[in-house]
Amino acid sequence: MIRRLKAEWRTRRAVAEIEARDLSPRPHGLDVPLVVSLTSYPARFGTLARTLKGLTRQTVSADRTILWLAHGDAALLPAEVRALDVEVRETANLRSYTKIIPSLAAFPEAAIITVDDDVYYPADWLERLLAGDAPVRALRAHRVVLKDGVPAPYEEWERGLSRADRSPLIFPTGVLGVLYMPDVFHPDVLREDLFRQLAPSADDVWLYWMHRMAGQKAQKLEGKLRVLEWPGSQTISLRSANLVSGNDQAIAAMVARYGFPSSEE
């Protein structure tokens, strides 16, 4: 009961904070276009406006925010979502990959920030994400732990790092956004046949391998943001399943296909 009441209080406070924002956002300052990219589905449409308002009411502005939906789902969007300054596009249903693969294909020259559709983003979220200098950077990340040169089981990794770091072993997690500059991925990144086969519900694993195989190291930015998920948005979620079996299966499949990219600094 106490936990539920605290969650309700945090949610009310977050929603009120978003609604009260009256900002004059600054340009992002990158020398390439900046795209914030996400996906959603009808079961989460009830809380989607909260997320989109949080993403678009920032101290720094992106060039465009794109909501990718499976074919036919746009017609089901609530009026509150349609009224927002968000570009809605329909595409093939790639599950969690829908938030990045279509944007990579459509905007190869852009910096792309992938975000989740079910969490609260504070007003300085984008500003904090842009504060780094690596071509791959995240506000939330784990550190891969190796055993005999390959990743140990996912549960044994250093989880939820708070300190800033940049290393081949930094593993960005997408829940609070990951920024990818242009040309940071191996050419296989867009191969639907491979990511559906090797990591069907573990896009973080696929994207880690793809940027590592291109020689990139990710940067975990300073600080640790608390993840506030909107109540009711987790009725259908891949996150809990991924933490153990889904991620470990995907990691094993990626090692079998590609090996493990060198972890040397």
Task: Give pLDDT, residue 234.
Answer: 55
CA angle 145, 100, 172 (to 5 degrees): 20
pLDDT grade, residue 262 (50/70/90)?
confident
Residue 238 has pLDDT above 60, yes or no: no
Percent of the chain with pLDDT over 70: 94
Task: Give pLDDT, residue 233.
Answer: 58
Residue 30 has pLDDT above 50, yes or no: yes
Better-scored residue on pLDDT, 40 or 264? 40
pLDDT grade, residue 241 (50/70/90)?
very low
Beta strands in the chain (DSSP E): 34-39, 64-70, 87-91, 111-114, 136-138, 141-143, 146-147, 150-151, 165-167, 170-172, 178-180, 218-220
pLDDT grade, residue 243 (50/70/90)?
low
What whole-number distance in Å separates Cα of residue 124 and Cα of residue 7? 22
pLDDT grade, residue 244 (50/70/90)?
low
pLDDT grade, residue 7 (50/70/90)?
confident
CA angle 110, 237, 161 (to 5 degrees): 65
Residue 148 has pLDDT above 80, yes or no: yes
What whole-number distance in Å separates Cα of residue 205 and Cα of residue 210? 9
How do strand 178-180 and strand 136-138 relate by DSSP bridges? antiparallel
Among the listed residues 157, 131, 136, the one whose alpha carbon sits nearest the alpha carbon of residue 214: 136
Task: Give pLDDT, residue 223.
Answer: 80
What are the structural domains of the chain?
2-258 (3.90.550)
Partners of 38 in beta bridges: 67
**Does pTM top 0.85 for this prediction?**
yes
Question: What is the separation of C-alpha 245 from the centre of its chain, rounded to a whole number of angstroms?
Answer: 20
For 55-80, what is the mean pLDDT?
98
The region of weakest confidence among 29-33, 200-204, 225-229 is: 225-229
The region of weakest confidence among 32-36, 79-83, 220-224, 229-233 is: 229-233
Span 212-232, pLDDT tens digits: 999 999 999 998 788 999 987
What whole-number distance in Å separates Cα of residue 77 and Cα of residue 202? 26
For 10-19, what is the mean pLDDT?
96
